[in-house]
């Protein structure tokens, strides 16, 4: 394991007050620049000496990236909005409780006060082989240490892998995918809107990144469309310590219903793959069907089809199956 030291190696600190200034600084430093949101993922990297950026671009002073406002359709959440603000926001709680639930499951109150929505969904994986600085695939090497026959891979992926078996650590990511959120990403020359589902990428696409964000890209805003407001939601996160831990498996689901009948569904599981997994087959199964125990059971079975556990994470299969079953059962 890496040794966490108290002192962080020196770097240039850039504190822009506008998005344009931040983008200019990111362009100036290129790969040597590190974009800092809440800092809760970043400072671990720096203290471990695994990441040694030339410059840190602190977004904390950019007010336009903070806050929640009513958009033309739904909510517009600045990427630097803290998780506590999201948990406490009246409209989020009344119309999008799924997101508030997910945000409230992140770590501890202190961390939620400091941590941001943008940082939570952009954070890097917690695979300890990778975070210990070993030259694995994700770090630019040619091996996955976590996939080795004797590796400690209890927390790793059971599906969606391609050489790397690390999982997405974000609690809010599956909720945003379930809510069909749109991610606004600014570059120096252009702005792009990504569906939350496409924002997270797997190792088959790029083994060194977990999101579409490349050097020079800045996630500025997350839009939650009104389409899923006041839907029937279900969120559950299973973790080793109930007080404070990353998920082992979590489920975020949104259902449009007529009585007990599911008219439309978006069901997303995290902690089982390098990205939040949308369960298309389960959604097709439950759409237009009255929810009952039999449907919930079948949904759970379909959810884990195609999974390939590693040596020590076979338990994730029944855990995922049961979480999906509970999500569908919640409509009954």
Q: Footprint of other proteins on this chain (CB under 8 A)? A: 133-135, 139-145, 147-149, 161-163, 201-202, 204-206, 308
Least distance in angstroms from the C-beta of 272 to other proteins: 15
Residue 1: other Cβ atoms inside 10 A: 8
Beta strand segments in 99-212, E = 182-186, 191-195
Least distance in angstroms from the C-beta of 173 to other proteins: 19
Q: Judged by CB, which is closer to other proteins: 201, or 229? A: 201
Are 257 and 232 a contacting pair, CB within 8 Å? yes
Q: Judged by CB, which is closer to other proteins: 50, or 55? A: 50
Least distance in angstroms from the C-beta of 165 to other proteins: 9
**Phi and psi torsions of 288, nearest 5°:** 80, 10
Least distance in angstroms from the C-beta of 135 to other proteins: 3
Q: Judged by CB, which is closer to other proteins: 134, or 199? A: 134
Q: Judged by CB, which is closer to other proteins: 92, or 139? A: 139
Q: Judged by CB, which is closer to other proteins: 139, or 231? A: 139
Distance of CA 70 to the CA centre of its chain: 23
Q: Judged by CB, which is closer to other proteins: 77, or 136? A: 136
Least distance in angstroms from the C-beta of 205 to other proteins: 5
Q: Judged by CB, which is closer to other proteins: 158, or 267? A: 158
Token pair for residue 154? 């209890």
Least distance in angstroms from the C-beta of 206 to other proteins: 5
Least distance in angstroms from the C-beta of 304 to other proteins: 16
Token pair for residue 167? 């999982």
Integer angstrom CA distances of residue 191 from 49, 80, 119, 200, 223: 33, 18, 19, 17, 14
End-to-end Cα, the chain, rounded Å: 47
DSSP state letters, 21-89: HHHHHHHHHGGGEEEESSSTTHHHHHHHTS---SEEEEGGG-GGG--EEE-SSSEEEETT-BHHHHHH-
Among 35, 33, 103, smallest CA distance to 65 is for: 35
Among 162, 12, 161, 176, smallest CA distance to 106 is for: 176
């Amino acid at each position: 394991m890496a040794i966490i030291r108290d002192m962080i190696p020196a770097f240039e600190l850039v504190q822009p007050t506008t998005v344009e200034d931040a983008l200019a600084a990111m362009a100036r430093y290129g790969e040597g620049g590190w974009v800092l949101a809440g800092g809760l993922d970043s400072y671990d990297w720096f203290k471990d000496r695994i990441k040694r950026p030339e410059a840190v671009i602190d977004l904390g002073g950019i007010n336009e990236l903070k806050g929640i406002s009513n958009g033309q359709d739904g909510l517009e959440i600045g990427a630097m909005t803290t998780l506590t603000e999201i948990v406490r926001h009246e409209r989020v709680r009344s119309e999008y409780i799924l997101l508030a639930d997910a945000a409230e499951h992140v770590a501890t109150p202190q961390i939620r006060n400091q941590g941001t929505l943008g940082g939570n969904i952009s954070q890097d994986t917690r695979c300890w082989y990778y975070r210990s600085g070993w030259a694995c695939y994700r770090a630019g090497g040619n091996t996955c240490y976590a996939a080795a026959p004797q590796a400690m891979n209890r927390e790793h992926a059971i599906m969606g892998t391609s050489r790397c078996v690390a999982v997405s650590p974000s609690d809010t990511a599956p909720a945003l995918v379930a809510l069909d959120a749109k991610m606004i990403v600014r570059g120096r020359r252009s702005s792009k809107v990504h569906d939350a589902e496409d924002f997270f990428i797997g190792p088959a696409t790029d083994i060194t990144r977990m999101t579409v964000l490349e050097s020079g890209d800045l996630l500025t805003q997350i839009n939650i469309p009104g389409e899923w407001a006041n839907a029937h939601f279900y969120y559950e996160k299973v973790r080793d310590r109930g007080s404070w831990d990353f998920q082992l498996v979590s489920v975020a689901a949104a259902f449009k219903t007529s009585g007990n009948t599911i008219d439309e569904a978006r069901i997303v599981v995290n902690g089982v793959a390098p990205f939040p997994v949308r369960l298309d087959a389960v959604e097709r199964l439950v759409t237009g069907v009255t929810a009952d125990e039999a449907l919930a059971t079948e949904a759970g079975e379909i959810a884990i089809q195609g999974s390939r556990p590693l040596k020590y994470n076979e338990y994730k299969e029944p855990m995922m199956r049961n979480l999906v079953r509970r999500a569908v059962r919640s409509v009954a």
